[in-house]
Amino acid sequence: MNIEQLLQERSGFKCELCSASENLAVYEVPPDSKANIDDSVLLCETCIEQLNNAAKVDVNHWRCLNDCMWNQTPAVQVLAWRMLSRLSAEGWPQDLLETLYLDDKVLHWAKATVEDQSSENNTKHLDSNGTRLEAGDNVTLIKDLNVKGANFTAKRGSAVRGISLVADNPEHIEGKINGQQIVILTRFVKKMN
Ligand SMILES: [Zn+2]
């Protein structure tokens, strides 16, 4: 059986998001789809068009997420999570999102495209100059910082190599100074080139 046939069997010949039964096609979930059944879902034309084109989104169409978010297939959960996130300003999607539990691997996959979307979400870590910081970057401190609980002052100009980003807080990064792992505010650092 090819992928389409496998997906038809899995879905019962229905769009795996909205349950429509016409104009179905295989949709490979970005990014890094290996074009196997686990990375693919069977979707209707309407769902595919709206997934691919934010300008065409009809919020009411996505009431279907209420049901399909409970689907056991990770690829479907990923699409439901992404669409709920995209629509979260509507209110009800945010409520659903809060009840949607994904295991870590699936959540990581769901979030894999978030950075490529608009900058509306404020998860970008920016240094004091507004330069985007990424995990593994080297930064310098632009002022003396008293390190709480460690009894030392990290001097202005100190280098912090191989920072990591605090995922939930765009104002926080972590890095080692004097051998200690500390949390640093992004506005007090400058990215090194
Ligand atoms: Zn659909």
Give pLDDT tens digits for 9-46.
Answer: 999 999 999 999 999 999 999 887 888 999 999 999 99
What mean pLDDT do residues 119-123 have? 53
Give residue 1's pLDDT. Answer: 83
CB 47 within 8 A of CB 82: no
Give residue 140's pLDDT. Answer: 96
Residue 119 has pLDDT above 70, yes or no: no
CB 16 within 8 A of CB 41: yes
Task: Give the integer Cα–Cα distance in Å for 101 and 84.
Answer: 13
Dihedral angle at the C-alpha atoms of 138, 141, 146, 148, nearest 10 degrees?
A: -30
Q: Nearest Cα to 159, choosing from 185, 133, 141?
A: 141
CB 158 within 8 A of CB 177: yes
CB atoms within 10 A of CB 168: 7
Give residue 34's pLDDT. Answer: 86
Residue 115 has pLDDT above 70, yes or no: no
How far does residue 20's CA lie from ligand 1's centre (Å)? 5
How far does residue 109's CA lie from ligand 1's centre (Å)? 21
Is residue 65 very low, low, confident or very high in pLDDT (cuts 50, 70, 90)?
A: very high
How far does residue 168's CA lie from ligand 1's centre (Å)? 32
Kind and range of the H or E run holding 111: helix 104-111
